[in-house]
Structure 1
């Protein structure tokens, strides 16, 4: 009779584990904040852009993040930095010219079940989001700095796309 109780407890615990779904993988994607219009290929953020980067960090302060990605440009690094600092994470630099399908496949492979912020550009973020969710994503204009795109991928591989404003 003494063996029956531990066996029942073990089965109950295993049964509870079997009903807990694996965590979804979540990617939060944003374009860099407002940049200085100095004509250079690597401008810094404007005062408004720095404020937007801080506002993004404040918005994501309560969201557990496992990684923060940014291209090597100053404007993307400056956009990612406050959020990364707030989560005590290093910014992982990725190549802005890496094909969206390749980068997205790597993100999915390396961050299954995690939450990741990706900071990119108006001509890269829609493609990365589309590759992550296998869905249509609207193009982004050069004047758009406030779109926040979230792609959630369930354990069964089904992805959902949410778009809103920062």
Structure 2
């Protein structure tokens, strides 16, 4: 229970404190929530995944979010749809692949459009480490701060001098113990 309170406090105060500094862009990377067991190549969320998506919305209720980005994957879209509806804001879609130039272009565009703001980026766990490393977080830090489990949140704060700092959180922070 104490761990839950500490993580909730870090998310609430840490994101807001940095979001108010004009040169700091806060990026909240969200793993797609838990998917249903399905033979589909693009499954939707499980019941637990839908709960995680709703918990994300509740956890970010007091955070001023400028833009919500998502890949086209069904699980990613369903993860941030409750947040999008709560904010009465559309989703901005993006595609990435293994092409470093495309990754560079997508990330530069997101940062340029949202300088000094807080944004949410939802993707699959395979994509997020590459995106985070592109921002300047060392690979070792990404590996220790981030795992491939569903329902994880990684907050990266990029300062005006392009220094990036990462902090791992969990979407289950509001879950009752």
Q: TM-score, normalised by structure 1?
A: 0.79
Q: How does 1:5-20 map to 2 (within 5 A)?
A: none
Per-residue deviation at 1:112?
0.8
Higher gyration radius (CA)? 1
Match of 2:119 among 104, 116, 134: 116
Paired residues of 2:31 and 2:122 also in contact (CA < 8 A): yes
- 1:133 counterpart SS class: coil
Query: Greater helix share, 1 or 2?
Result: 2
Q: CA separation in 2, counterparts of 1:103 and 1:66?
A: 17
Aligned residue in 2 for 1:8? none
Match of 1:106 among 86, 109, 113: 109
Does the alignment pair 1:151 with 2:156?
A: yes
Paired residues of 1:123 and 1:140 also in contact (CA < 8 A): no
Residues 53 and 21 (structure 1 numbering): CA distance in 2 closer, same or farther, change over 3 Å?
closer
Does the alignment pair 1:48 with 2:48?
A: yes
Paired residues of 1:22 and 1:113 also in contact (CA < 8 A): yes
| Higher relative contact order structure (alpha carbons within 8 Å, sequence separation ≥ 6) | 2
Instruction: Figure out how many residues of one structure are paired with residues of the other and give that number.
Output: 145
Q: CA separation in 2, counterparts of 1:104 and 1:27?
A: 11
Per-residue deviation at 1:103?
2.1
Q: Structure 1: any 5+ residue segments left out of the alignment? A: 1-19
Q: TM-score, normalised by structure 2?
A: 0.75
